[in-house]
Structure 1
Amino acid sequence: MAWCKLQGAIVSCHSRTRHELTDEKGASSRLLEVVQPVVTRETIKIMLPELTIAYVPSTQIVESKPLPIPTSDSGKFGRFGGKFVPETLVACLNQLELHFENALRDQLFQAELAVALRDYVGRETPLYHAERLSEYYKSMNNGKGPDIYLKREDLSHTGSHKMNNALAQSMIAKRMGCKSVVTATGSGQHGLATAAACAKLGLDCTVFMAAKDMQRQSSNVRLIKLLGAQVEKVEGGFKDAASEAFRYWVGDLERNYHLTGSAVGPHPCPAMVREFQSVIGKETRIQALEKWGGKPDVVVACVGTGSNALGLFHEFIDDRDVRLIGVEAGGMGLESGAHSSSLTTGEVGVYHGAITYLLQDQDGQVIQPHSIAAGMEYPGVGPELSFLKESGRAEFCVANDQEALHAYERLCKLEGIVPSLEAAHALAILDKLVPTLHNGSKVVVNCSGRGDKDAATVFNRGLFDEE
């Protein structure tokens, strides 16, 4: 019997007394009673062309009808999402939701954000035709194949898509009268973007980061400190840094603003991140119309927790003729257990305040994730992506560490672009995807971040060593 495992609360307050988890309506989070059984790969079988199968779409979805994303006041995407948090945090999240909704309706805020995105972040980012990369794949098929385009989020200020959300939420924090922003970061790109946005707006900033990530992303750590932010070391991984950031926030709710950079956690956090990242897909639609007079046939993005994938996907969810493909971190291989493929191999549970897919063992304990890309090491994923998986609207597959390294090298040598290792996972799936596509198809890959931060990791793997 498929069932749903219950993970821990988002955080507790400073006291270690046990808190009952509740949603925003005060209902107990006894998930075995309220969550539907998990549909497994054993239930229904389907083949995706040459891609690692991550999910079996439900037979209840009618392909000819549009697929609205179901949402409610609780921030639910189907059965995923919600606010499963200690009661002490419900009021804070409700207040945050109110400020978020007010900001969306405030024309002055939207105008200020638009100017800041243009003049500070450098939007819009180019939709770049990767001609040599396209020819590389066409040369393997008698000169036929898709045209590959890169959405150049690596050219945004601080080097990734993370600035879109960090800047917008920092502006909301200032509107709320908060003096300090607290956040957690994995690859350092969100921490860097948040530190920069806080410096611009005159806010204090504290960034929590795992010790191992501080070591492998040392250049970003130095830049975060240079921008005036304080970096707090945490033992463990990004999930532990995220938990510590929440604890810090709870310690002074009046002064602190918790700025999540990932589309995970309790409502409204995933919705906020997706909303402020959706500029990626909106620009892509306009740019595609200008460049070839239509829409992309396929859009591809890496999936760590979901911010850059949703940023690209969300605009095209109702366009059923546009394939949405997310690429998770296969790490050392799914069979090894050392990976970060929660949509591919995970089960449904509650983690960091929301119902989603998680890497967990038979006892419901979180399994430590692994990826060569620091930004993809998280045992869960955003609830909206979990819904897109379960509904069958999006396809999910995996690329392992070695495949990502080869894609990293290929883009460097063919296009003179150094992608992040996170983006390299999305590029890696082209090896399996391209042979399945029609000649002249248009593929957009989200190049979500710059790769100089990963140079030390790449060099340590000996990828460019001379023979």
Structure 2
Amino acid sequence: MVDKKLASHAIPAAANSLVSEGGYYGNYGGSFIPEILVPAFAEISEHFEAIRHDEAFWQEYCTLLANYSGRPTPLTYADRLTEHFGRAKIYIKREDLNHTGAHKLNNALGQAMLAKRMGKTRIIAETGAGQHGVATATVAAKLGLSATIYMGREDMERQYANVFWMRRLGAEVVAVDYGSQTLKDAINETLRDWVSSFETTHYVLGTASGAHPFPAIVSFFQSIIGIEAKEQIMKAAGQLPSRVYACVGGGSNALGIFQAFFPHDEVKLVGVEAGGHGQESGNHAARIAYGVGKPGVAQGYKTLFLQNNDGQMNDTYSIAAGLDYVGVSPILADLSEKGRVQFLAATDEEVVEALEIVMKTEGLIPALESTHAFAGAFQDITKSSKSDIFTINMSGRGDKDIFNIAEGLQDEEWKSFIHRKNKQFEDQAHGANQS
């Protein structure tokens, strides 16, 4: 049954209202693309401009989210986590309960609908943690499109369960074996594909980055998170939250929940980046929180990138594959510069500690990406009072991360299990060769 309340939401405008002519958000954004892709971007811009004012399209999108994806996702009061800290009341926006286990389906579904409206028969995408890849493969199957997903070899090893599901859903998964073999390289390879195939293919960019109008498109479709969260917190607590936390890789889940609160200056918006092994180690992906991101142009847009003095992109690191990205949304870069969004960094150690607390107090298993948001909130909570309300966007569930989580927790029983399974496979292979 369709949730009539969800389907009646007005068309969002918050993120799109920030963009100026040429696709800029303050000093960031723009469209730095090869001439061959100019017609593709012109087509996307024309159709996006039409749908973002089309009430029928928005209601069709919301209806599909309700009937297929299971929205609205709940806002859970974390009573035991609140009691654990004895400070601010904590509410968790449960994007882990969205179909495919993360917020990624919101954008993938909307862009697949846009692709069909443009008459495309194929969609392509990049993915880091694999959740966007799974979401893209899922909506391709649902809407009858063919799909190709590009993923860095390093990320494929870290998130092989998602690779398995993408392939089972009918998508082609292409390993990217050059560079750091992570998200930025997957984006580059997807763009190469698109250059030669845009007449039949739409690039479903997964985060609020890239050349205009992609930051606006992704923000538009992800805004459903904040629309729901704002209504839900007012119903549950009778007031707006003091602070809203979200992890930040490219920025899609953060902008998804932040947008609804843009007009309310009393609500502090906090993005949490990947602190990795800490700032001094150089092994991190904290472009804004550590103050080391520098303005630059890459992958079609201007933003803050982790780069050296010669403009070469640095390698990044995070325990969470989805946060292991060299750039950040131009919208967030601008909002940080204006002071509207604050940034923190959470180290791997803080993330693993936060994960254990959340699991043991609330029975929830957040994705490692989402756990950065929890870790950031826990950094601030000692400065809060019982009258404060923290809302944390749990952007995805952690079952995809079982190998990384077990490694991070140094779980000896898990290691023994892996060794046993490996021995079984070796024995089976040896037996097959003997026969």
- TM-score normalised by the chain length of structure 1: 0.83
**Cα deviation digits, residues 148-200 of structure 1 (max 9, x gap):** 01000000000000000000000110111111000000000000001000100
1:287 partnered with 2:232: yes
**1:102 matched residue in structure 2:** 50
Q: Which amino acid aligns with 1:118?
A: A
- Count of aligned pairs between the two proteins: 396
CA–CA distance in structure 1, aligned partners of residues 208 and 333 of structure 2: 11
Q: Deviations 1:17-58 (Å, cap 9, x if unpaired)? A: xxxxxxxxxxxxxxxxxxxxxxxxxxxxxxxxxxxxxxxxxx
Structure 1 residues 118 and 412: CA distance shift in structure 2, 3 A: same
1:8-87 pair list within 5 angstroms: 70-87=18-35
Task: Please tell me the residue identity of whatever aligns with 1:206.
Answer: T
1:98-151 CA distance string (max 9 Å, x none): 11111122232222111111011111000000111111111xxxxxx1100100
* Paired position in structure 2 for 1:404: 351
- What's the CA shift for 1:227? 0.6
Of residues 298-307 and 431-440 in structure 1, the stretch that sits farther from structure 2 once superposed is 431-440
Q: Is the 8 A contact 1:263 1:274 kept in 2?
A: yes
Note if contact 2:276-2:347 (Cα within 8 Å) is conserved in structure 1: yes
Check if 1:183 corresponds to 2:125.
yes
Is 2:251 aligned against 1:306? yes
User: C-alpha offsets along residues 372-427 of structure 1, whole Å, 9 cap, x if unaligned?
Assistant: 00000110000000001100111101001111111112111111111000001110
Residues 295-329 of structure 1 deviation map (CA, whole Å, 9 limit, x = unaligned) = 11100000001000000111111210000000000
Q: Secondary structure at the match of 2:288?
A: helix
Partner of 1:252: 197
Structure 2 residues without counterparts, runs of 5 or longer: 1-13, 414-435
Structure 2 counterpart of 1:109, one-letter code: F
Aligned mates of 2:343, 2:411 — CA distance in 1: 30
Note closer, same or farther for the CA distance 1:67–1:255 as it changes in structure 2 (3 Å cut). Answer: closer
Give the counterpart of 1:220 among 155, 162, 165.
Answer: 162
Which SS does the other structure have where 1:244 is aligned? helix
Match of 1:351 among 287, 291, 298: 298
1:184–1:209 CA contact under 8 A, matched in 2: yes
2:104 is the counterpart of 1:162: yes
Out of 117, 139, 146, the position equivalent to 1:197 is 139
Distance of 2:380 and 2:409 partners within structure 1 = 27
Is residue 296 from structure 1 mapped to residue 238 from structure 2 by the alignment? no
Give the secondary-structure state (helix, strand or coil) at the position aligned to 2:61: helix
Q: Partner of 1:169: helix, strand, or coil?
A: helix
TM-score normalised by structure 2 residue count: 0.89
Structure 1 position 447, deviation (Å):
0.2
Equivalent position of 2:207 in the other structure: 262
> Which residue is 1:243 aligned to?
188
**Hey, what does 1:383 align to over in structure 2?**
330
Q: Offset of 1:343 from its aligned partner? A: 1.6
> Structure 2 CA distance, aligned partners of 1:393 and 1:253?
37
Distance 2:411 2:60 in 1: 44
Within 1, Cα distance between the matches of 2:365 and 2:143? 30
Are the equivalent residues in 2 in contact too, given 1:69–1:77 (CA < 8 A)? no
- The whole-number CA distance in structure 2 between the counterparts of 1:240 and 1:189 is 17
Distance (whole Å) between structure 1 residues aligned to residue 270 and residue 43 of structure 2: 35
User: In structure 2, what is the Cα distance between the partners aligned to 1:254 and 1:224?
Assistant: 24
Residue 126 of structure 1 aligns with an amino acid whose one-letter code is P
CA-atom RMSD, angstroms?
A: 1.6
- CA contact under 8 A between 2:16 and 2:216: conserved in structure 1? no
Deviation larger for 295-304 or 102-111: 102-111
Give me the identity figure in percent: 45
Letter in 2 for 1:111: Q
Of Structure 1 and Structure 2, the greater helix share is in: 2
